[in-house]
Amino acid sequence: MVHVIRSFERPDADALAAISKFPPATLHEAQGRSGALTSRIKPIYPGMRASGPALTARCFPGDNLMLITAISMAQPGDVLVVSAGDHPEQGGFGEVLATACMVKGIVGLVTDAGVRDGPAIQNLGFNVFCYGLCMKGTVKETLGTINQPIVIGGVVVNPGDFISADDDGVVVVPKATLLDVAKNSAAREDKEAEVMAALRNGGNILELSGMDKVLAAKNCTYG
């Protein structure tokens, strides 16, 4: 079994530029309301934002050996996406590893675990999306995988898929669909901008959203 795959195909610069304009909620809707990780995975502090290609790792619960290895292999602009056993009672990432990520140019970490040294990570300005803060340390004993498909937050993530994360949570866009999702996202934002402009000019939300027709089709009655 191969544990570590050294390289993978990242999206090209044009695709990344096109998709990076949009927030996670828009991307989620634009790809058919799919790709959203469990809402339990959130930024450790408000205002954090990260987007870029996923470098994937799978760790044994309570063990951060493969996370450390993944950091050493990352390229600038990558987002570390680490399946750590869906286990919040561990803090296998902290100030030292956040510093290592900053030096490498890694833009964020997404994991189904806890992290520690929250105030220090916030002061560094590193973006972490996880189950929350937990001071419990981890060992460095067990092999996992790097740059192979993982499941995290109920979603399959492949190396090179696009990750977008903010206060709303984390969404995954498969790398093969980036340009299509970017196009759909732009159309969605244009439509929403038109609706909001109409609302400011006195428009009715039921009519502008088309929900008046939905209610009528369902024979909605009013008293």
Read off the CATH number of the domain in which 71 is found. Answer: 3.50.30.40
pLDDT at 175: 97
pLDDT 10s digits, 52-92: 999 999 999 999 999 999 999 999 999 999 999 999 999 99
- In-domain check, residue 148: yes
Residue 190 within a domain: no
Instruction: Please state, in angstroms and as integers, the Cα–Cα distance from residue 175 to each residue in 9, 10, 13, 48, 109, following that order.
Output: 9, 8, 12, 23, 18
Instruction: Indicate the pTM of the whole model.
Output: 0.96
Q: Does residue 220 form part of some domain? A: no
**Average pLDDT, whole number, for the chain?**
97
**Which pLDDT belongs to residue 1?**
80
Structure-block tokens of residue 141: 């004993």
The amino acid occupying position 202 is: G
Domain count, the chain: 1
Residue 194 lies in a domain: no
Q: How far apart are CA 129 and CA 48, in angstroms?
A: 8
Residue 120 placed within a domain: yes
Q: What is the pLDDT of residue 167?
A: 98
Q: Which residues of the chain have pLDDT under 50?
A: none
139-154 pLDDT, tens digit each:
999 999 999 999 999 9
The pLDDT assigned to 147 comes to 98
Can you give the pLDDT at residue 128? 98
Residue 106, CB-side half-sphere exposure with 13 Å CA sphere: 28
Q: Can you give the pLDDT at residue 207? A: 96
176 located within any domain = yes
Domain hosting 108: range is: 13-182
